[in-house]
Structure 1
Amino acid sequence: MSVSTRLADRREVSAGTRAYSIGFEDGRFYANGWHITGEMGGVWTPPMKMVDGVWFGLDDQWVGPATTFTSGWGYSRYDLPDTAGLEVARTDFVPDGVRGALFGLTVTNPGAARIAKLSVDAHSELMGQYPWGFTGVMPNASDNLPDTGAYDGKNLVFTDDGALPGAPVHHYAAVVGTAATPTTGQVGSQFYGAQPGHRCTGTEPGAPADPKPSACDDGPFGKGTGGRLTYKLDLPAGGSQTIWLAVAGSDQGLTSARGELAKALADPGAALAAKKASREALSSMTQLSLPGDPLVQDAVQWGKQNIADLTQTATDLQIRWTNQGKQFPAPSGTVAKATWIGAGFPDYPWIFGTDAEYTAFASVSVGQFEAIKDHLRALRDVSDILNNRSGVVTHEVVSDGSIWFGQDSRSTNPDGSTAYNFNTDETVKFPSTVALLWRWTGDDRFRDEMYDFSVRNLRYVTRSLDVDGDGWPEGLGNVERTGMGTEKLDNTVYYIRGLYDLADMAKARHDGATFAWANNLARQIRDRFDGTWWYAAASQYADSLMDPGDVQSFQKHWIGQTPMEAELQVNGRTVPGLAPFAHGSTALAGREDPCYSGTAPLSTGLFHTGCGGGANGLGEKVIFGLTTSIQSIGEGNYGRLGAGQQQRYTHALADPMFAEPATGGTPDEQPGAMPEIFPSPDQGANIDRCWTCRSMFMQAWGNYGTAWAVVHQWLGIQPDLGNGQLVVVPQVPAGQPSASGRHIRLGGGFADVAASVVGSRYTTSVAVDRAVGADKVWIGHTVPRGSTVTRVVLDGRVLTDWTSRTTNRGLEVTVPTKAGAHTLVVTAS
């Protein structure tokens, strides 16, 4: 997809598994990001940055800015203006498994044969993803060491050897070059191509209060250097030539960096073809056809690429507890290798607990099993080192192993309350994420690998985070705001779900003691949930409870939707939503009100905090992809799929990826990328915001609200392959004639599902590979609550016996069958 407006205000990424490049869509590299002020862009190979950017010139004229930017699957392309009488285009991509990025400049000579001079500038910035530039962080980003540059006769070579205060010695290196030998090479700090090299600090005389990124070429912590390479291009008449420039590096020294450069330049054309093919392969899974909603169909298709772009790997993570940047001790241990799905670009590219636990639902929906499995392994490995195997899941892990928040430790606040250094929600959600992967893959080995940690997760919560013994866990949840009670709604909801999921895995493993404990405790807490948490005064659920006495606190935070969003697995049956139908439907309808949700022309998604809510009584009318996803999935669990219900929120999620009204009908930033925060009453579009005050232009977890909604709710795919079972019970949204999905990955195979509604006839067709591993298959359809089923036909045979049950979704009608191709027609009145 392409865009041609305000390119200097739009960020983009080209990413591989070992490196990524973040620039702007005019083809240049301005300062952006806030974790390390202005330094979160450029070319990175986790855990280190290599360069701020690269720039090209022809015959002493700088190329660009671009006139059109194209976001491709696995690559970025720039249409550039003619330069020195030559036609120019650029393609960026990052080969998977290589610690380097490739920039391909294609030069076409429309005239007579000629010799042209190609100039390449690169500006280095060798620094880690941590430390950050916040006040009180030790060491601080301001302690960044200066880079050293050299020209070795073929490449620009940048090194940074030494140690930050209190940190171990590092050996960072980056090498920039092409397969050709330059005619000249030079080094110096002035090389920023067409950009003047202006450094923004926020304090320089005459500086605007909130400059756009394009006003800033560097931030206050930059201590890089630069260089220029020049080449002679022999251009035949009417001919084209593509010059591939590589930026490669390593945190293991110069020899390793040179090896990465050699890998990157070995065969760039073949590497680009392989990259495109790998992304096409990801695209081929979960091929949707949604004739009544092509916007959501496109959102899921591009969401696959977002998840893949954010999938990264690093090695030798030194696990150290920095206590929110207040210390930098010796590491407690090492994780040799970690693969994860990053939370977002540019400021959250590393490992998170809660982000992954939501992203997992999107990942399984589109068949990307391996990355999310590895992410859970990384969380377990890091958490066990950091927290001495207590079972607490860490919150945030930078790719060098530094941990800002997420240790099993506590202190006392000035008011006497407990200050936690971890979030309870991440620990109670972990077993459910393992169970989710187990059900979709049927991988008993993965379940068994993660089982001990999952048991320790919930045993810890029960033993250490329920001091008053009322069943409601204490500690921080996903809403990181003050003024809440010690017992949070989302922690409670996910604790109940986690206990049921742990019980399910325990039963399959014949661990009777764990099954009995988890199942009984889940049932007891669930039975008391609605009576304790339903806040009748607002017809919503309380956000938290104040102790003593479980006094309800209602601040209108988005977590009020989690009782409808969370799905339980009880006695082998899927239960969509913890809240009873009456309360769940009422609460969902209430959140559609302008107090809680935005209105056009801004995003119609869900606010972080409704009007008049929050500790200060003002509310936070900021719309996040996650908050909107929670509302979307809640609506789907209660059969509310229409235009003013779930579709309102799926479209709010999809609009910023393609053509949102707030940006004049163009994407928020990168075409096809779902951002972290959408245009909101309290926060405008990213492209209108300053260089350090933007949200992520690509974030993973929002894809939960689109991919899971379609695959799990509309198509009704409910795998339980760990127990050898598959249920397919679709629910087509009102006003849409049909919904279908081909090549949906399940277990070791694939399934196709098609569902349609014509009048009172509900049709479901499936084709399930035997390789899926489902010994038992149920095919069905969800019809409106209160319907009477008058006829059920399976594969042309009228049935006299079928199963029906009323859930929060509606009346689910199912019949047993086996793997293979089948068609069911349900007639209901």
Structure 2
Amino acid sequence: MLKITDLIEEIKNPDERSFLTPGTRMHLIGAQNGGFPAFGHHIENEMGGIWMHPIKILDGFWMGLKVDGRQFEWLKQASIFRNHPFYNEHIYQAHELVITRFQLAPQETPGLIVRYILENKEDYPVLIEGDFVVRSDLRPVWYSETENIIPGKDEAWIDNDCVVVKDSDHNWFARVYAHCPHAIIEIDEQIEGYEQTYGEGVGAKWNFRTTVEPGESYVFTVHIAGSIKSEKETYETINNMKNVEKHFEHKKKHYQGILDRAAIDIPDEELAKQYAWVKCHMEWLTIDVPSVGRGLAAGIPEYPWWFGCDSAYSLAGCVPAGFHKLAEDTLDVVAEASLRKNGNGRIVHEINTFGIVGNPGNTQETSHFIRAVYDTYKWTGNREWLRSHFDEIKNGLRWLLEEMDTDKDLFPEGYGIMEILGLNGELIDTAVYTAVALENAAEMAELFGEEIQARKYKDLGEQLTKKITEEMWLEKEGLYADIRIPGKDLYPRLDDFIHQARLGNDLHLIPYYEGMKEELITNGMAESEDDTAWCFKNWVINTPLEMGLSETGSALQALKRLNGKEFTGEYGMYLSGLEQNRMMTISTAVQVNANLRYHQTDAAYQQIQNVMKTFGMYLPGSISEMSPDYGCFVQAWTSYALLSPIICGFIGIRPNAAVKEVTFEPQLPTNWERARVQKLMIGTNELDVLVERDIKSENGYSVIVHSKETGWTFHGATETCLIN
């Protein structure tokens, strides 16, 4: 198994690209060169700094030095940025000194530890005069102003060698303690580091002086705490963080536990390494706000809050990797916000960390949520938790099939995953996930003794699946359509699409849209009121394949085209086969899982390798949301591309924890002879599964299962035994 200390990524002469010091209660977003440049669009120029959700507490911190009487210089440019899964380091050179800046967010603590180690590399003493500066910026998370949560003025004072900052209108606090005896502390609105900040906070400065002997080091440690309740809480947090080594070892052990769960042994060492990093990303993106809930955020730096559809994709990836409680907690947060905001089964799209809903929900998110709940249950076997969501699930299906299906053809209407202006109607992704949700709900209803409801859901699911495969399949294209919509509704929208293409300088799209207009007129459909399927070549046309709804012949025909150059670029699947200029890990992830559904194993493996090429291109140790290197620098749904495909695809695990059954359907890439997963959690059981090629076996594989619990049934296993 990999050790957490084996995962180290670094870059020399780093620039202003961002990094994260992860923590569930507090995290830091800064620049890899050591600065805190202003950036961000959700809160303009304010997405960086130190966040203790649902508030930001500091814009940043800076150190400047005068070494042996030379001119004062800020530490502006690190020579090395080193990223570890649970902490990071910046290395600076300053004359005789090598300076290591270390930052750690202690586990489950609303605090941050920053430590500067100033090492004298010369054979004579060095006199250091230094300034350490922080800028406060107590402000709420994005969208809070809609509930009239407006920041007041930052007020600061000195208390027991700490600088304390309070928002004048709220019980929001920051406390900063620098372990630096005899330092002179100043507070003033004009105090700042070398970078412009845009918040209306105050500055604090610690001026210190020390001599470092030859070969010795001076350690300058800073503790930062925040609270949305009381000053006392910040005081307690600071005191709790005094033992830095204890917190470091505790967090190291926690992350080692993440690596140990569902640990893989595969022939592809680079994939195994990236798999391990992506598991750590799930912890990076876990945000715990005691007043709201704990859950998996979508992405950092721009989306450090919770989503409906993002969670559905992400949890399908991370539940197999052992994040069972995180999945339940995340879905609980989404469900609670949805009930509070909508109250009719509709699942919300976006929830900030004050619990404020930014979008009441696109149509497909309700069915997507249902699928996520049931998939999580299959891994955990937690029947009580499933039951707690069943009423909401029934309400959600009622909303989809009544309120959102105005023409009663089983195709819910509205916007789906592709939030493209004008592309709303009966969308393929909504239809597919609704069919799956009905199938899942039928099994739930049967489980809870609601036989009539179970038959109803099963019949409706089968009807919708049949309609998708018949009415959304375009034989001429060999693809599924994006949307069903009458010609009379589509025709005017095409002018809007052409206008948008001109505005975006996507002139190559215009002939396609004009061709559709001409086809509508030629076929006499420009005034038609009949629902018709249309293909705009967006990536969601692979969702019938992802969910296994397509007939095999159609699926293989579509996959061949989708895996080709028309739809797939160097780093994965295009968001649009028309535009061919943007890729995301989620479009590629869905294509990976679509290939695995129809045993196109090598094609799935190739798409995984496309994603792998982007590793570290923006942040060492991470994969960006937009391929290859932009958008959020860490994104939760990457787990759907790199975690579940190995466990559920290549190793082929199909759990049903509630009845203590697991089915194995392995499919290894051509150049793999074996794959193993250890400490795989299914319900309360822990498995060690080894898959090897075996020409003597019926399906070409031997599957050896070691189980910690008795009483389980393992379908497809060739050998089973108990773990001692």
Shorter-chain TM-score tier: 0.7 to 0.9
CA–CA distance in structure 1, aligned partners of residues 32 and 353 of structure 2: 26
Question: Residue 643 of structure 2 aligns to a residue in which SS?
Answer: helix
Q: Which residue of 2 aligns with 1:267?
A: 243
- Partner of residue 178, structure 1: 178
In the alignment, which residue of structure 1 is the partner of 2:535?
A: 554
Measure the CA separation in 2 of the matches of 1:183 and 1:153.
13
Matched, 1:735 2:662: no
Q: Could you tell me which amino acid in structure 2 is paired with residue 593 of structure 1?
A: G
Please state whether the residue corresponding to 1:593 is helix, strand or coil: coil
Residue in structure 1 matched with residue 649 of structure 2 by the alignment: 713
Q: Deviations over 1:575-615 (max 9, x none)?
A: xx11111111111111123222213xxx2x1111112xxxx
Q: Does 1:673 align with 2:631?
A: no
Partner of 2:329: 374
Are 1:774 and 1:819, in contact at CA under 8 Å, matched by a contact in 2? no
Secondary structure of 1:755's aligned partner = strand
Residue of structure 1 equivalent to 2:225: 248
TM-score, structure 1 length as denominator? 0.77
* Contact 2:414 2:424 survives alignment (8 Å): no
1:108 and 2:92 are equivalent in the alignment: no
> In the alignment, is the contact (CA less than 8 A) between 2:155 and 2:167 conserved in 1?
yes
Counterpart in the other structure of 1:622: 582
TM-score, length basis structure 2: 0.88
1:819 shift after superposition: 5.9
Q: 1:530 aligns with which of 448, 462, 469?
A: 469
Letter in 2 for 1:638: Y
Alignment check: 8 A CA contact 2:153 2:168 kept = no
In 2, the alpha carbon distance for the partners of 1:298 and 1:285 equals: 14
1:777 to 680, 699, 714: 714
Q: Is the 8 A contact 1:485 1:553 kept in 2?
A: no
What displacement does 1:621 show? Answer: 2.1
1:317-396 to 2 correspondence within 5 Å? 337-387=292-342, 389-396=343-350
Shift of 1:253: 4.0
Alignment of 1:636-647 (within 5 A): 636-642=596-602, 645-647=603-605
Preserved CA contact (<8 Å) 1:77 1:90: yes
| Greater fraction helix | 2
Question: In the alignment, which residue of structure 2 is the partner of 1:570?
Answer: none
Alignment CA distance shift 1:242-1:748 (3 Å): farther
Look up the match of 2:660.
Answer: 724
Structure 2 residue runs without a partner (length 5+): 1-7, 67-71, 487-528
Contact 2:539 2:574 in 1 (8 A): yes
Partners of 1:712 and 1:302 lie apart in 2 by: 18
Quick one: which of 91, 98, 104 aligns to 1:93? 104
Deviation (angstroms), 1:290:
1.8
> 1:760, CA displacement in angstroms?
7.0
Query: How far apart in 2 are the matches of 1:441 and 1:303?
Result: 21
Aligned residue in 2 for 1:814: none
Q: Secondary structure at the match of 1:502?
A: helix
Please say if 1:397 is aligned against 2:343: no
For residue 301 of structure 2, what is the amino acid of its counterpart?
Answer: P
Supply the distance in 2 between the matched residues of 1:191 and 1:755 (Cα, whole angstroms): 62
Q: For residues 560 and 461 of structure 1, what CA distance do their matches in structure 2 show?
A: 20
Could you tell me which residue of structure 1 aligns to residue 552 of structure 2?
Answer: 581
Match of 1:228 among 194, 205, 216: 205
Q: Measure the CA separation in 2 of the matches of 1:458 and 1:723.
A: 26
After the TM superposition, which residues 383-532 of structure 1 pair with which residues of structure 2 at under 5 Å, given as runs? Answer: 383-387=338-342, 389-406=343-360, 422-532=361-471
More displaced 10-residue stretch of structure 1: 91-100 or 301-310? 91-100
8 Å contact from structure 1 (residues 130, 402) kept in 2: no
Question: Following TM superposition, by how much is the alpha carbon of 1:118 offset from its aligned partner in structure 2, in angstroms?
Answer: 4.1
Structure-2 separation of matches of 1:587 and 1:478: 20
Amino acid at match of 2:576: T
Query: Is 1:44 the equivalent of 2:54?
Result: no
- Determine the C-alpha separation between the residues in 2 that align with 1:123 and 1:774: 59
SS at match of 2:716: strand
1:504-536 alpha-carbon deviations (Å, 9 max, x no partner): 122222221321221121122222321111012
Q: Percent identity between the aligned chains?
A: 23
The answer as to whether partners of 2:30 and 2:48 remain within 8 angstroms in 1 is yes
Please report how far the alpha carbon of residue 634 of structure 1 lies from its aligned counterpart in structure 2 after TM superposition: 0.6
| Partners of 2:402 and 2:408 within 8 A in 1 | no
Q: Cα distance 1:243–1:722, how it changes in 2: closer, same or farther (>3 A)?
A: same
Change (3 A) 1:758 1:512: closer
2:662 counterpart letter in structure 1 = L
- Determine helix, strand or coil for the equivalent of 1:445: helix
AA partner of residue 546 (structure 2): E
* Inter-CA distance 779–192: structure 2 relative to 1 (3 Å threshold): farther
| d(CA) in 1 for partners of 2:147, 2:323 | 37
SS of equivalent residue, structure 1 residue 9: coil
Give the aligned residue type for 1:311. Answer: T
Match of 1:673, SS? coil
> For residue 256 of structure 2, what is the aligned residue in structure 1?
280
Alignment check: 8 A CA contact 2:156 2:165 kept: yes
Q: Tell me if 1:606 matches 2:607.
A: no
Contact residue 753 and residue 764 of structure 1 kept, 8 A: no
| Offset from partner CA, 1:32-85 (integer Å, 9 cap, x none) | 22101111010000001011111123444433521111211211112221x352
Q: Does the 8 A contact of 2:690 with 2:705 survive in 1?
A: no
Deviation at 1:468, TM superposition (A): 1.1
Give unmatched runs, 5+ long, in structure 1.
163-169, 199-217, 317-336, 407-421, 567-576, 612-618, 658-666, 680-684, 687-694, 781-793, 796-817, 822-829
CA distance in 2, matches of 1:192, 1:579: 60
Residue by residue over 1:313-342, the C-alpha shift from the partner in whole angstroms, topping out at 9 and shown as x without a partner, is 1133xxxxxxxxxxxxxxxxxxxx300101
SS in 1 for 2:33: coil
User: What is the Cα deviation at residue 300 of structure 1?
Assistant: 1.2
What SS class does the counterpart of residue 457 from structure 1 fall into? helix
Shift of 1:501: 1.0
* CA distance, structure 2, for counterparts of residue 532 and residue 76 of structure 1: 53
Q: Which amino acid aligns with 1:656?
A: T
**Do the aligned partners of residues 77 and 633 (structure 1) sit closer, same or farther apart at CA in structure 2, a change above 3 Å counting?**
same
Q: Cα distance 1:140–1:696, how it changes in 2: closer, same or farther (>3 A)?
A: farther
> Which residue number corresponds to residue 597 of structure 1?
568
Helix, strand or coil at the partner of 1:171: coil
CA distance in 2, matches of 1:529, 1:271: 54
Provide the residue aligned with 1:298 in structure 2: 273
CA contact (8 A) 1:106 1:240 kept: yes
- Matches of 1:588 and 1:144, distance apart in 2: 52
More moved, 66-75 vs 302-311: 66-75
Give the aligned partner of residue 639 of structure 2. Answer: 703
Rounded to whole Å, the distance in 2 between the matches of 1:445 and 1:243 is 50
- Give, as a single letter, the amino acid of the residue that structure 1 aligns with 2:412: P
Secondary structure, counterpart of 1:238 in structure 2 = coil
Helix, strand or coil at the partner of 1:498? helix
> Which residue is equivalent to 2:494?
none
What residue number does 2:91 align with? 79
- Counterpart of 1:573 in structure 2 is none
The reply to whether residue 159 of structure 1 matches residue 166 of structure 2 is: yes
Given the superposition, is the C-alpha separation of residues 553 and 703 from structure 1 closer, same or farther in structure 2, using an over 3 Å criterion? same
Q: 2:99 is aligned with what amino acid?
A: V
Q: Report deviation, 1:636.
A: 1.2
Summarize deviations over 1:195-224 as a string: whole Å, max 9, x none: 2x33xxxxxxxxxxxxxxxxxxx34xx212
Q: CA deviation at 1:493?
A: 0.4
CA contact (8 A) 1:68 1:78 kept: yes
Residue correspondences, number: 667
Amino acid paired to 2:597: N
Q: What letter corresponds to residue 637 of structure 1 in structure 2?
A: R
Could you tell me how far 1:26 is from its partner in structure 2?
A: 1.3
Change (3 A) 1:455 1:241: farther
Corresponding residue of 1:10: 17
